[in-house]
Amino acid sequence: MNIIKTKPQSRRQFLKNAASYLTLAGSAFLNPLPTLGQSTNLKVRSVDAYPIYINERSEGLLDSPNFLNEDDPARWRFGGPFEQLPSAIITIIKTNEGLTGFGMGAGGSAAVEIINGHLKHFLINTNPLNVEQLWDQMYTSSIFYGRRGIFAMALSSVDNALWDIAGKYADKPVHQLLGGSERDRIEIYQTNGDFLEAQRRGVKNFKRTTYGGPKTPKDALDRFVTSVLEARDQLGPDVRLMTDCVSRDGTVEWAIPFCKRLREANLYFMEELLSPDNVFGYAELRRKVGFEGDGLTRIACGEHEYTEHGFKVLVGLGSADILQPDITWCGGTTAGRRISAIVEDAGLELIPHRGASSWGFPIALTSPSCTMAESFPEGSAILDAMSCQVENGYVVAPTKPGFGHSLTEKMVLDFQLTRRI
């Protein structure tokens, strides 16, 4: 298999193109639905959001932690009750013409409170097809308290529900509303699970995760390094193999020798070696071990970044070779298409987090640089309802209108978390 390598952009090229992808004035931000809603009386009639149970990780949000002492390593891993995927929410938007849109976000009951107390006021009795105008109004209204984190995750849920309505109104999949693509499938990469079993099913790309950083015990990191090197030996030299440290406290000084330990694995990328806030550290790391440096591995980040404004910083600083927005966290599909424009204009790669989900796939499919879509071997009934079909190692574009999911209001209510988180 040929491993695709994207040539990094030189600083001269960056400065030459800076105006286009830092301001993004022009076609990149034009509403892709300019005429869809001009002759309709479609109006939003109700907006309801629900925290949902996605898998056993959601159960842990309902329990108070039991730390042994102030030095307990678990204190560095506890994410609290509003940590992204475990605190998933679904927004259901209904219209006067019987169309219903579903959108996934996160933030649990805190995000639901933002939707009920703030965002809903921008939506009731408005035309849901004015998706990007509504996004701009909602985002701007949050400037003095929102911008990132829970607000962006709440906005993602609402925005995705609006795009679901737009696709159903037009009787088209969302990826067609975004401009479509000549391809109808993308290779998946499987995160964790049984790699050899997945390889027999046609999967060609794999990622192993750990919790890595200066506070990670040496024996735990040694086991992880061994597991990655063994995976390379088992899978062969031609598959893409990646790692994810899910790091909250990584430093450049820690990450560089860690990357060098895995040199023999010939990794396609290494993800989240540093805290998401350490954007300058990411830039330094890329200069030293990424494709701007010695080419040891591509540096990937962005899963925990928000809106085009956050990604402008990452791209402008040269912090990553691969950008990984999650469309249910970063601000939704509207933010995703703007982020895609920034990344593509910079000559970098876009590989959305959970790109094989119903929400991530339209951006993945319509971003020319995207080579893989992330998939997981195990989920739950509601996660399966929000995942695209996978065939022989490829995720296949849905043909149903909207996001192509199979969610129903009954399913959302059945999976609702009834205790507050």
Q: How far apart are the first and last CA of the chain?
A: 46
Q: 361 near 340, Cβ under 8 Å?
A: no
Token pair in block for residue 356? 């094989």
Three-state secondary-structure class, residue 117: helix
Residue 35 tokens read as 């005429």
Distance from C-alpha of 332 to C-alpha of 89, rounded to nearest angstrom: 13
Q: Which of 116, 89, 94 is nearest to 165 (CA)?
A: 94
In angstroms, the CA 385 to CA 407 distance is 6
Crossing angle (nearest 10°) for helices 149-170 and 108-117? 70
List, as one string, the DSSP characters of 263-329. Answer: GGG--SEEE--S-TT-HHHHHHHHHHHSTTTT-S-EEEE-TT--HHHHHHHHHHHT--SEE---TTT
Edge-to-edge strands of the sheet including 89-95? 44-51, 89-95, 100-105
Please answer whether residues 65 and 99 qualify as being in contact, where contact means their C-beta atoms are separated by less than 8 angstroms.
Answer: no
Q: What element of type H or E holds 111? A: helix 108-117
Separation between Cα atoms, residue 386 and residue 360, nearest integer Å: 10
Catalytic residue among 118, 121, 304, 353: 353
- The answer to whether residues 116 and 124 touch, using CB atoms and an 8 Å cutoff, is no
- Ranges assigned E (strand) in 218-268: 240-244
Give the largest Cα separation in the chain, rounded: 64
For residue 16, the surrounding DSSP H or E stretch is helix 11-23
Q: Which residue has the tokens 């399913």?
A: 411
Q: Which of 148, 178, 149 is nearest to 163 (CA)?
A: 178
**Phi/psi-derived region of residue 364, left when phi > 0, alpha when psi is between -120 and 50, beta in every other case:** alpha
Catalytic (active site) residue 353:
yes
Catalytic residues: 353
